[in-house]
Chains A and B, each alone.
Chain A
Amino acid sequence: NAGVTQTPKFQVLKTGQSMTLQCAQDMNHEYMSWYRQDPGMGLRLIHYSVGAGITDQGEVPNGYNVSRSTTEDFPLRLLSAAPSQTSVYFCASSYSPTGLYGYTFGSGTRLTVV
C-alpha cells in the first residue's frame, strides 16, 4: 500500500542510548517532516526536508539529527536519549510545500526513555 511507513512502532530506550527511527514513503514526495506529539501540546516540528540532500531545523530540533540521502527515506536519529524525549513520533510527507493538499502521516513510533 502506498503511504508513509515508520519503524519501529514501539521502542524502549535507556537514558544515553542512541537509536534511529526509520521513515520511508513511496509516493515520490519531495517534502518530508518529523513531528513529536506530547499530551496537550499538539504536534511539534522537529526537522524537515524539502528534497534529497536538503534538511532544516523545526521548532524542537535539539537532541535529534536527520539526513535525506534519497527521496524515499528520512531517518530521525536520537543521539543520546533523555526521558524528555519520551513521546510519539510521526513522519509525514507531501508533494506540496504548504500542505494545502494534505500531508500523509505514518502511523507513529511510540518511544519511552527510562
Chain B
Amino acid sequence: DQQVKQNSPSLSVQEGRISILNCDYTNSMFDYFLWYKKYPAEGPTFLISISSIKDKNEDGRFTVFLNKSAKHLSLHIVPSQPGDSAVYFCAASGETSGSRLTFGEGTQLTVNP
C-alpha cells in the first residue's frame, strides 16, 4: 500500500525553464509534506516543506503547492539550473505518526544546459 506516490520516474527540462515535480498521497491523516533532493552517493537533503493548513510555500526558486482536496502536491523550480539535476523525493508525516516519514519513489530530474 503505497501511501505516497510519485508517478513520474524521470523528468527532463531545459535550463532556465520551469520544473514541476508531482506527488500524490492517499492518507488523509498526513499533516506535513516535505521535499528532499538527493545526489548520487549522498544522503537526502531537505529542500522545503508545507503544513496542511497552507496551500503554498515559497523559498527562493522553490515553491511547493498543496491541494488537499485532490491529495496532491507539486514542487516548482524556477528557473531550473543544471545543478538541480538530482532525484527528488516527496515525503509526508502526521501529528500522530511520531517521527515517521513516508516517502515516495522519487523522480530523477535532469536539467539540460
Contacts and interface: CB of A to CB of B under 8 A. Distances in A.
Residue with the greatest number of chain A CB neighbours at <10 A, chosen from B49, B98, B99: B99
B67 to A, nearest CB: 19
A56 interface: yes
Given A100-B32, A108-B43, A42 B101 contact: no
A105 B45 contact: yes
B43 A107 contact: yes
A56 B99 CA distance: 10
Interface string B90-111: 0101110111111111100000
Contact of B94 (A35, A49, A98, A102): A98
B51 A100 contact: yes
Contacts, number: 81
B43 A90 contact: yes
Interface residues of B, number: 30
A104 B43 CA distance: 9
Interface in B1-54: 4, 6, 9, 31-32, 34, 36, 41-46, 49, 51
Contact of B46 (A35, A50, A102, A106): A102
A103 interface: yes
A25 B94 CA distance: 24
B93 A50 contact: no
A33 B100 contact: yes
Nearest 9 CB-CB pairings of A with B: A102-B46, A105-B43, A31-B99, A42-B103, A43-B103, A42-B105, A98-B32, A97-B99, A100-B32
16 contacts: A4-B43, A33-B99, A42-B4, A42-B103, A42-B105, A43-B44, A56-B98, A58-B100, A92-B101, A98-B93, A99-B32, A99-B99, A100-B49, A102-B34, A103-B46, A107-B41
Given A101-B49, A105-B36, 20 more contacts: A33-B100, A40-B9, A42-B4, A42-B6, A42-B89, A42-B106, A43-B44, A43-B101, A43-B103, A45-B100, A48-B98, A56-B98, A94-B99, A98-B94, A98-B99, A103-B101, A105-B43, A105-B44, A106-B43, A107-B42
